[in-house]
Structures are given as structure tokens and as C-alpha cells.
Structure 1
């Protein structure tokens, strides 16, 4: 049976999540995903009357089969096993378990999908839809049209920033005025703390830099760039996705576009300009260049032109 004392799974999980957050510098969102995956593992162990300290590689393979029968996708299964691999590696190193059951199994492969991005024509359509204010009513739920216009303009700036810098949505929403370096009325670059608590500086195009710098006028260094007012927090990621979906529908773009797809768009534009993968890796804040290699799809059009006359 699974142990239930104070050194049981819930207590060890809490200690592990603290390690991820405070020692490894993982974001709250990442820790939440680890917690969710470990919860799924714990519930399955309880249903099978297994002890998390003594489970075998065979048990883990049965867990994978269970997830597949439950309709969990290949990518999600791979993420859960990756989570367990990190957990048991930590647990063994800290003498919480004697054996690591994940070490012995063949890890499920994550499916490599070509990322979704916007073509240049679709970017133009999104910009046009965003800056066409005909759909903003005079009054909605007590909010004036002027207030709704300001909200639209903040989202316009946010979506443009992601397309011009490739920031993750969490990085963009966490951006404070002090993180933007402004020289002679131009925002030259932004400083962000990305995954794994790693800091990087991302340069900005001059034309967009002028727009961003202008939007910061009158704000304090600790104010969030995309907050509604001084001292307030930026909107949540869920609200941002919902607003973007509304604009994508308005623009007539038949794709499932999220803020992360705008980040894909930035990477795609760079590759189309023959920027080296190692430079794209640095700009995006990828730990491994293998992650950046999913963007090699951008060379497909160039390859098609090369063989067109054969």
C-alpha cells in the first residue's frame, strides 16, 4: 500500500516542488504542471495499491498504457514521464528512494509537429483587424468606448511586442517599465527572466521601439508595461488568449492562433531572413538548440523554389 505518514508522497511532492521553484527557478506555471502530473501518478498508484517508493519499471509502463487507454495524447504522456523522470532522479539523489523506476524504461517519444505561425499576409490582416475600431461599442457592461479603445490599444501593443521580440506570454506580461532600456526616445531592448530563471536581453526593431517607448511615458519603473493603471497587475494569460482569439476571428484567419503562435511567427520571420539557428536560440531563450530546430520549416518555401525548374 502507498505510505500515508508524514514522509509519504504528499510531503515529498511538496518538498520536490519547493526544489523546482526555489533551487531551479522554475515558474509557477511550470510547478503547477509538475504538481498536476504527480497528482495523476499518485491517484493511479492508489488505484493499483502500489507504493511510490517501490514501484518498478514495469509499473511505469502499465501507467503509460493506462494513460493511452484514457485518451491522453502522446505529447501529454511524454510530458508526464519526463516529470516522473525528474522527480525520481531528485528523489534518489536525496535518498528518498533506493531505485529510479523511470531510468530503466524506454521514454515515449514526443511527436515533432511543425509549429503554427502566421504568414506575412495574415500578420497584416491581424494588424488591420486590431486597429479597425468599428466593432467597439459605445458602451458595454458600463464600460465607455474610450475605455474599450485603451484596452484594444494595450492588446495591440502586446501582440506586436511578441511578434517583434518572440517573448513568451508570461515574459511579456511580467515585463516592467524598468526592464525596458530606452535611449533617445527609442526602446532598444527588453530584459526578461525566462525559463529556468535565466535572464536574457532581446533587441527590438527601431520603429517598434519608438512606439513602445512612447507608451511608457508617465509610468514608474516598477509598473507593469501592460497594466491598466499604475500599481495594477497585467491581465492574465487566459484573458489575453481570449482577446487574441476574438481578433483572429475578426481578421478571418482560419488557424488556431495563441500568443505562443505569435512567438513561432517571430522565429519564422527570422529564419526567412537567414538568421542562424544558434542566434534564434539565444533570442528565444531556448536551453537546447534541438528545440529551435522545429523552426526549420521556414526553409521549405526556399527549397521548393530551388527544385521548381527541375
Structure 2
């Protein structure tokens, strides 16, 4: 079974061109399933039927797995068994009669404009790393880029004279994002004052670097952001995605078209973007209730 899993992951990597993080999530889901089969003395995938799947999903629920994790697991299993049928390794797909539970819609945390301004002003720009962190925060809020997209920005992706940044998002889809004057000016300052000192005689195609002159990592951005949020006195659970959510919500509140927001965020399905309209309405109601004397 482990050999079949490796062949499947190889297929996803080579023929489907899936990203490393996506492959890792599939591997994790499917490894958990194969480990479960071992505890049930099931040694071949041809033994797996609908009841096996139902029992496994029940087991996951009993383990207090999040609804979103179970949905992701079902998706991973559905694609895995579809591949096995396609390759004629199994005859009957046990996932055909398995329904996917509806995902609980959880509105993302969003910062107010005042909180964003406070956070942006927190890094000490007199220091090399402070200048870099201020630039990163400005770019994240100005563009709504994912943290994986931020760390992979290369110097060649910058077109500051045109006011745009190129990026490669999910599914290797390229998109062009406008960047405001404020963020562009911070990038120019960072390029002139901070980045050369971080490079330390090295060379790197990447825009954002760590203290050793290497490409900054996702974990590095998370760690630095947490420190700045704490210093800013913001009590919300802020992640890099929070700035992406705030970007989308704020431009919608200021009249941006939903289709434009979809394009900027790189969503393939507009239903993903529609959560921000719910969020915007919720915030509108909250402001009304606080401000109106008869609310």
C-alpha cells in the first residue's frame, strides 16, 4: 500500500505538477488512512469498501478532528481511489457513495484600518530588519498576497515604475497585482537602505531576505509578525493571512467590485471570494449597532 501511495504522489508531482505543500498535505492524509487500515488488519486496498471508509471517518470524528480536516481527508481519499480505478489497480471505487460534509463557514479575523496602521508603524525602520519588516507588512496589506507568494517575490517580478508586481499563485497561475504608491516607496527604501546590508556580498534573486542574506521563509514571516502584533498591543489572533483578509475586506468596503477582488486574490472560484461580502456586511451591522442611537 505504501508503494502505491508513493506512485500516486509521483504521479501528482510529475504529471499534475502539484506544489510541494499540496503534495505534503495529501501524503499526510493518506498516511493516516493507511495507518488506520493496518490497525484493522487490512493489508490490501482491494479490501477497502464503503463501510471501511465510513468507519474511518467515524474514527476521525471520535478523535475530535476539525470538520475542515475531515473534509480535506475525504477529498484526498476521493482523488486517491479515483487514481487507483483509473490505473486498474482496483475495480470498484469505495468513495462513490461517500458524501462530503458541508464546510462550516467561519468568517476570518480582520483588522480594522486603525489596527492596520498601528501594526504598520510598529517595526523600527531605523534598523535593517525593521525596515525589511515594515516593507513586508506594507506589501502584504497593499496586495493581499499569500505568505508563500511574498517569500517568492523576485527582483525581476517588481515593476515599480508601472505600479505592479508579478506573482505565481496556487496552481502555478501567474497574475499581476497593482501595488500602491506607499508600498512601492517602502520597497525602494528597502532596496536602497536595507537589502544590500542583508546580502553581505552575496547574491540572491529574492526580494525579501533573512539576516544571513538567504531567502526569507514562511516561518520567519510568521515569527516576526507575531512579535510586531504583540508590540502593537493588538489582541486578535493575527496571522499573515489576516492581512490578506483585511486587504480584501477593506477594498470591498470602499466599493471594489467582487470580480476584481477575486482576480486580485487569485481565487479560481468566486464563491471563495464571496465570504468577504458576508464579512463586510457583518462589520457594517456592528458599526451600525454601535453608532445608531436607536440600534
Normalised to the residue count of structure 1, the TM-score between the two structures is 0.83
Q: Which residue in the other structure is 1:40 paired with?
A: 32
Pairwise CA distance, 1:97:
2.1
Pairwise CA distance, 1:305:
6.9
Pairwise CA distance, 1:174:
0.8
Deviations 1:185-226 (A, max 9, x none): xx6211111111111111111232232234335799961100
Q: Aligned match of 1:195 in 147, 167, 170?
A: 170
Residue 216 of structure 1 aligns to a residue whose secondary structure is: helix
Deviations 1:132-189 (A, max 9, x none): 87xxxxxxxxxxxxxxx21222122112211110111011101110111132xxx621
Q: Aligned match of 2:209 in 194, 210, 227?
A: 227
Q: Aligned match of 1:243 in 224, 238, 245?
A: 224
Deviations 1:58-96 (A, max 9, x none): 211111110111121111111111111122222222323
Alpha-carbon distance in structure 1 between the residues aligned to 2:81 and 2:176: 34
Number of equivalenced pairs? 283
Alpha-carbon distance in structure 1 between the residues aligned to 2:25 and 2:145: 20
Alpha-carbon distance in structure 2 between the residues aligned to 1:54 and 1:61: 14
Tell me whether 119-128 or 12-21 shows the greater mean CA deviation: 12-21
Residue 227 of structure 2 aligns to a residue whose secondary structure is: helix
Per the alignment, do residues 65 and 49 of structure 1 end up closer, same or farther by CA in structure 2, a change over 3 Å counting? Answer: same
Deviations 1:226-265 (A, max 9, x none): 02479x4322211211111111111111111110111111
Q: Which residue in the other structure is 1:3 paired with?
A: none
Tell me whether 17-26 or 121-130 shows the greater mean CA deviation: 17-26
Are 1:158 and 2:150 an aligned pair? no
Alpha-carbon distance in structure 2 between the residues aligned to 1:221 and 1:268: 37
Per the alignment, do residues 282 and 160 of structure 1 end up closer, same or farther by CA in structure 2, a change over 3 Å counting? Answer: same
Deviations 1:256-309 (A, max 9, x none): 111011111111112111212211111111111111111111133445678956
Q: Aligned match of 1:209 in 165, 184, 199?
A: 184
The answer on whether the counterparts of 2:131 and 2:190 sit within 8 Å (CA) in structure 1 is no
Normalised to the residue count of structure 2, the TM-score between the two structures is 0.87
Unmatched segments (≥5 aa) in structure 1: 1-8, 134-148
Q: Which residue in the other structure is 1:295 paired with?
A: 276
Alpha-carbon distance in structure 2 between the residues aligned to 1:210 and 1:246: 24
Unmatched segments (≥5 aa) in structure 2: none
The 5-angstrom pairing of residues 4-83 of structure 1 reads 9-50=1-42, 51-83=44-76
Alpha-carbon distance in structure 2 between the residues aligned to 1:52 and 1:303: 52
Pairwise CA distance, 1:53:
3.0
Alpha-carbon distance in structure 2 between the residues aligned to 1:246 and 1:222: 26
Q: Aligned match of 2:261 in 268, 276, 280?
A: 280
Residue 53 of structure 1 aligns to a residue whose secondary structure is: helix
The answer on whether the counterparts of 1:188 and 1:206 sit within 8 Å (CA) in structure 2 is yes
Alpha-carbon distance in structure 2 between the residues aligned to 1:167 and 1:275: 17
